[in-house]
Amino acid sequence: MGVCITGIGIVSAIGMSVEENLNALREGKTGIGPLHYLRGTKAQLAGEVKASNDDLRASLGVGTGYVSRTSLLGLQAAREAWGDNKRSGVIRTGIISATSVGGMDRSEVFYKDYLAQNSPDYQLLTTHDSGSTTERIARELGITGYIDTLSTACSSGVNAIMLGARLILQGTLDRVLVGGSDALSGFTIDGFRSLMIYDDQWCRPFDDSRAGLNLGEGAGFLLLEGEKSLELTGNKPICNVSGWANAADAYHQTASSPDGKGATLAIQNAISRAGIGLDQISYVNAHGTGTKNNDHSESVALQNVFGDRVPPFSSTKAFTGHTLAAAGAIEAVFSVLAIQHNLIFPNLNYRTPIAETGLVPATRLETGAEVNAVLSNSFGFGGNNSSLVLTKYE
């Protein structure tokens, strides 16, 4: 039976729920645009969640103002994935979230006042550390015991899913809520601008003219259950988490290797862990950030693994923007939707293949083929490469 996904939740620039996200994906409607809620940044375009912190706090029933947007977004998605499930004294339940900025959205408010000596509010810093964002989500859901946070830059979300699956297989937990959350912040926008990979135009993943990414924000969560938990909850499995792998590129602090070494290892090991053939992968949800370097390196890795039979693939980042630590979790939810509804999502803003590799992504919503297994890639700074294989529940 392995590890089953029984609940999914998501909030992103294209919607506040699974249903809204699915509709936008079907309609090919991007959520990237000028920033409305986060003011004073230099970003022309970003994938902002269409709700203020006050809106989120009100709808989630969170009273305190000392809560990061990262926690609020995480809670929104975690609640949806958790659904009507109950706490249980018998089912050992844990939570693993992933974040790269933690409460930076609050910390930068503090630090600005601190520098200006303008009575800074030190209480804002109680939400700074990444672990506290997960502790907040756990508290709101009443989960105690195994509470953990991973932070491996842009691959964090997939790593949380992988860790959750391993904990269930080792018998440490019966059920675990896994995902990732990151809010937009001036810090990350300036950071990617300083790297000169923030595109002021719409990002164009896998296009020859691609010139960088647009940041986004959001959260994705999935409820994973093992056999014992399923027997007790009676939840209906949607998909299986079948394969996973993480590998280090060990090439450069930020850049991916031109031969795609780490990415190739991650993809190969994840598929081999899933125990299926290369030709059984129906769709690849690529990392595809829209930077020169990533999309080239990822294309090479796909060709390393699949040769000239690369499955239909697309990056959904032109819908959501690059949501950093949340990306792997958000895209895992998209992968579940692909399997559930037999869909292959379009790679928006694509025109011309990358000259060196010639790979052509799916550019239109495809509804005709059966989608039984999806490979989802997430690659991060420090050469942190992760891949996930989800399969139809049998």
Partner 1 sequence: MDSLKEDLKKQIIEQLNLEDLTAADIADDALLFNDQGIGLDSIDALELIVLLEKYHGIQLTNPEEGKEAFKSINTMAEYIRKRKAA
Partner 2 sequence: MSKPALYISAASTISHQPTFRNAGFSETLGPVEASSALISPDYKAYIDAGLLRRMSKILRMSVACAKDCVEQAGSGQPDAIVVGTGLGCLQDTEKFLNTSLTVEGLLPPTSFIQSTHNTMAGQISLSLGNHGYNMTHTQNTLSFEHALLDAAMLLREGDRNVLVGAADEHIDILNDIAVQLAFEATAPLTSAASFFILSDEHTGNAAAALADLFTSGATDNAQEEIDAFLDRNGLQPGDIDLALYAGKPVSGVARNIDYLPLAGVYPTASAFAMHYAVDVLSENSKVRNVLICNTLRKSNLGLILLQAVEA
Residues 186-225 that bind partner 1 (CB under 8 A): 194-196
Buried b (16+ CB within 10 A) or exposed e, 244-262: bbbbebebeeeebbeebbb
d(CA 49, CA 70) in angstroms, rounded, equals 11
Query: Which CB atom, from 259 or from 366, has the smaller least distance to partner 2?
Result: 259
From partner 2, partner 1, none, interface partner of 271 (C-beta below 5 to 8 A by class): none
Counting contacts by CB under 8 A, is residue 58 touching partner 1? no
Select the residue interacting with partner 2 from 262, 288, 311, 328 (CB under 8 A). Answer: 262
Query: Which CB atom, from 1 or from 195, has the smaller least distance to partner 1?
Result: 195
The answer to whether the beta carbons of residues 373 and 312 sit under 8 Å apart is no
From partner 1, partner 2, none, interface partner of 60 (C-beta below 5 to 8 A by class): none
Counting contacts by CB under 8 A, is residue 119 touching partner 1? no
Mapped onto helix, strand or coil, the DSSP state of residue 19 is helix
Closest CA to 375 of 347, 340, 320, 338: 338
The DSSP 8-state label assigned to residue 9 in this structure reads: E
Counting contacts by CB under 8 A, is residue 135 touching partner 2? yes
Token pair for 272? 């081999």
From partner 2, partner 1, none, interface partner of 37 (C-beta below 5 to 8 A by class): none
Residues 35-94 that bind partner 2 (CB under 8 A): none
Return the bridge partners of 376, or none. 285, 388
Q: Residue type for 86, please?
A: K
Return the bridge partners of 389, or none. 243, 375
Counting contacts by CB under 8 A, is residue 172 touching partner 2? yes
Select the residue interacting with partner 1 from 62, 109, 255, 276 (CB under 8 A). Answer: 255
Counting contacts by CB under 8 A, is residue 242 touching partner 2? no
From partner 2, partner 1, none, interface partner of 255 (C-beta below 5 to 8 A by class): partner 1
Return the bridge partners of 186, or none. none
Query: Which CB atom, from 17 or from 254, has the smaller least distance to partner 2?
Result: 254
d(CA 163, CA 86) in angstroms, rounded, equals 22
d(CA 239, CA 354) in angstroms, rounded, equals 33
Number of residues that bind partner 2 (CB under 8 A): 62
Number of residues that bind partner 1 (CB under 8 A): 7
Counting contacts by CB under 8 A, is residue 250 touching partner 2? yes
d(CA 160, CA 97) in angstroms, rounded, equals 6
d(CA 267, CA 245) in angstroms, rounded, equals 7
Residues that bind partner 2 (CB under 8 A): 100, 102, 107-108, 111-112, 114-115, 122-123, 125-126, 128-132, 134-135, 138-139, 143-153, 159, 163, 166-167, 170, 172, 186-187, 190-191, 193-195, 246-254, 261-262, 265, 380-384
Residues that bind partner 1 (CB under 8 A): 194-196, 252-255
